[in-house]
Amino acid sequence: PDPTFCCAICHEVLLDPISLPCGHTFDAACMRELYTRAHHRQEQSKRCPICRHGLPEILPKVNLSLKAAVEKMYPDQAATRREEVTKRSANQALHTAVSVEPDAIMRKTLELRIFAETNVEVLRGHVLAQLEKEAYDLQVRLREAKSENQALLLRCLLKQGIREKGFAQTLAMRMAIQEGAELDHVDGNGMTVAYSAARDGNAWLVHALAKAGADVDLETLG
C-alpha cells in the first residue's frame, strides 16, 4: 500500500487513522499504546514519534473520511488487519480480566463458564444457580467500572458467545447485550446465531441479538 495510507509506527495499513495537529497520522491502536506507555512512565507531555511535536492530553478522534478512503482503496488488507487487531485486543482484554483484576469475580465467572461447557449434564440445581449469580455479579461489576478494558471485555464476551455457542456462551451473550454491547459489520454471523436460536425455540436470545444489531426479521422468525 501507499505509505500515505500506512501507520508510521507499525507500518500496517491504517484501520482507524488519527490525524495529529502536527499533520502526521497514525493508527488509533498504536496511539493508544503510546499514550498508555507515557502514562505508565508518568511523563508530563506526549510527543509525536516523527516530529516530536507535543500531543494533546486527550487522544483525538478517528479521521472517518480517511478511514473510508483506506477501506475503499485496500479492502482486503484492511479486513485482514482488522481481524488481527480484534483477536489481539480480545486476548489482551481476557488476560487483563483474569490476571490483573484484583477482584476474583471475573476469574471465577470464566472458570464456571469453562466448567459449564465441559460438564453440561451437571448443570442443574445449585450449579446453575451459582453460574447465573456469578453472571449477575459480573454485570454489577462491569456496570460500575467504565474503563476501556472492561468495555472491550463486553465486546469479547458477545463475539465469543456468537462464535462458540453453548450454554455458558449463551449466558455470556445475554450478559454482554444487557450491558450494551452491539454487533457491527464484522459480526455477520450474529444473524446465523439468531436463526439457530429461532429453530431451537430460544425466543429471548433471538430478541436479544436483534437488540444488539443482528440483521433479523422478528416477524419472519415468529
CATH number at residue 20: 3.30.40.10
Domain termination site, one of 161, 181, 201 = 181
Residues 109, 67 share a domain: no
Q: Is residue 217 part of a domain?
A: no
Q: Is residue 13 part of a domain?
A: yes
Residues 59, 7 share a domain: yes
Residues 118, 49 share a domain: no
Residues 144, 126 share a domain: yes
Q: Is residue 96 part of a domain?
A: yes
> What pLDDT, on a 0 to 100 scale, did the predictor assign at position 8?
87
The Cα 174–Cα 186 span in angstroms is: 19
Q: Is residue 213 part of a domain?
A: no
Q: Is residue 167 part of a domain?
A: yes
pTM: 0.40
> What pLDDT, on a 0 to 100 scale, did the predictor assign at position 25?
92
- Cα 78-29-101 angle, rounded to 5 deg: 130
Q: Is residue 190 part of a domain?
A: no
Q: Is residue 160 part of a domain?
A: yes
Segments forming the whole domain that contains residue 47 = 3-73
18 contacts 60 by C-beta, under 8 angstroms: yes
Residues 105, 25 share a domain: no
Residues 105, 147 share a domain: yes
Which grid coordinates are listed for 78? 484492511
Q: How many structural domains comprise the chain? A: 2
Domain termination site, one of 27, 46, 73 = 73
Residues 105, 41 share a domain: no
Residues 116, 68 share a domain: no
**Residues of the chain predicted below pLDDT 70:** 43-44, 89-132, 134-136, 139-176, 178-202, 204-206, 212-222
Q: Is residue 199 part of a domain?
A: no
Which uninterrupted H or E stretch holds 17?
strand 17-19
Look at residue 26 and give its three-state secondary structure: strand
Domain termination site, one of 19, 38, 73 = 73
> What pLDDT, on a 0 to 100 scale, did the predictor assign at position 26?
93
Residues 177, 85 share a domain: yes
Burial of 61 from C-beta contacts in 10 A (0-12 / 13-18 / 19+): exposed
Secondary-structure percent of the chain, ordered helix, strand, coil, rounded to 5: 65, 5, 30
* Closest-CA residue to 4 (of 26, 28, 22): 26
Residues 123, 103 share a domain: yes
The Cα 127–Cα 134 span in angstroms is: 11
Residues 92, 60 share a domain: no
Residues 87, 176 share a domain: yes
> What pLDDT, on a 0 to 100 scale, did the predictor assign at position 94?
57
DSSP 61: P
